[in-house]
Amino acid sequence: MNVTAMNFPSGSEALLRPGSCPDASGATAGLCQPESNAGPSALLPGPQLTARRQAGSEHGGGASSSLPQIQQGPARAARAEASEGHTLPGGPTARELWARYRAAGPGDASEEQLLTQYVPLVKNVVGRLAINLPPHIETEDLYSAGMIGLLQALRAYNPQTNTCFEAYARLRIRGAVIDELRRMDWAPRSVHLKARKVQQAMELLEQQYGRVATEEEMAEALDISVEEYRRWLDDIRPAAFVCLDAVHRDEDGEEASPHEVIYDPAQEEPSEAAVRAERARLIAECIQQLPPLHQKVLALYYFEGLRLREIAAASGLCESRICQIHTQAILTIRSYLAAREAAPANVVAV
């Protein structure tokens, strides 16, 4: 998979596995190693991660030093096809279940069996989101929302689009979970305000310099120190993925959640394909302007499926710093898109 096909969450289609991402001001912040010691090659998976892959991990090959050259690992590319032939304990294969479900439709016993098979997908999506959320958020509520998203995906999925069901379902599940988080309205007003200030500063600096802004430039624009700016990134990390999700429009022009605006190549008009291709080009263009360390974090997280803690271990940095880099990169991409999508000469639909 080329970087231009990278499916970033509008909030960062970002959904994280369980773990902890301590605040930069917390006790673990002192464990960070100097960032200058972690060049691009330092973020390549170490022997321990390589051994895990060779032992049967789902991750594909290592990340290339040039992000646009990164390809989807063979194991990941084959996962959807292999899952169809998987035999459930004491039951039929997934392929057989899908055949029954397509013939019988919603409400059939095969629907319940398919839901059971794809429960791990819900757990994965919710788990990857959970790392960004405050501890008082009940994950059980999110699992319930995720299961609703999975059911919607099962009933709406059209195999004629040649879209991998797992990829389609992930988008539906994530969207349902984000909708539930919005309904909870758990983010304090101060977090919303900080997130908007950072987003606005990024857009202004990008317009001023014609490139992505550095952390130092961001700190100066916000009239705070670099250390304080990094603490802001810790504070707004959840908002970066939920509260600031880009507004999508459905075909009638009404506001819709990201998961309700699903890519369907069978129904896509040529103009829509051109818009999608242009947006992918802009994302790739922005990523190429990011510092090498930021590029590597995105590559290992989105292409290789590594946890943030694994990226931290491979890079020699603490997990808190990797979280900050990830948040900065996602906000930068969104600001970069916003500046260009607002330009009359280069209108790109969100």
Examine residue 2 and state whether it is found in any structural domain, yes or no.
no
Q: How do residues 206-242 score in pLDDT, each as one tens digit?
A: 888 888 899 999 999 999 999 999 999 988 876 665 5
Closest to 177 (Cα-Cα) out of 150, 145, 155: 145
CA distances from 30 to 230, 294, 318, 324 (A): 14, 21, 9, 15
Closest to 149 (Cα-Cα) out of 114, 185, 178, 175: 175
Q: How do residues 109-131 score in pLDDT, each as one tens digit?
A: 889 999 999 999 999 888 877 77
Examine residue 7 and state whether it is found in any structural domain, yes or no.
no
Examine residue 3 and state whether it is found in any structural domain, yes or no.
no
Question: Residues in the chain with pLDDT < 70?
Answer: 1-91, 132, 134-136, 162, 185-187, 238-269, 271-272, 341-350
Examine residue 8 and state whether it is found in any structural domain, yes or no.
no
Examine residue 112 and state whether it is found in any structural domain, yes or no.
yes
What's the pLDDT at 72? 42
What's the pLDDT at 217? 94
Examine residue 1 and state whether it is found in any structural domain, yes or no.
no
- CB count within 10 Å of CB 37 equals 10
Burial of 141 (C-beta count, 10 Å sphere; 0-12/13-18/19+): middle
What's the pLDDT at 49? 38
Structure tokens at 306: 């590594």
One-letter amino acid for residue 46 of the chain: G
Torsion, Cα of 204, 275, 295, 288 (10° steps)? -70
For 224, the domain range is 13-346
Q: Into how many domains does the chain fold?
A: 1
Does this model's pTM top 0.85?
A: no
What's the pLDDT at 268? 54
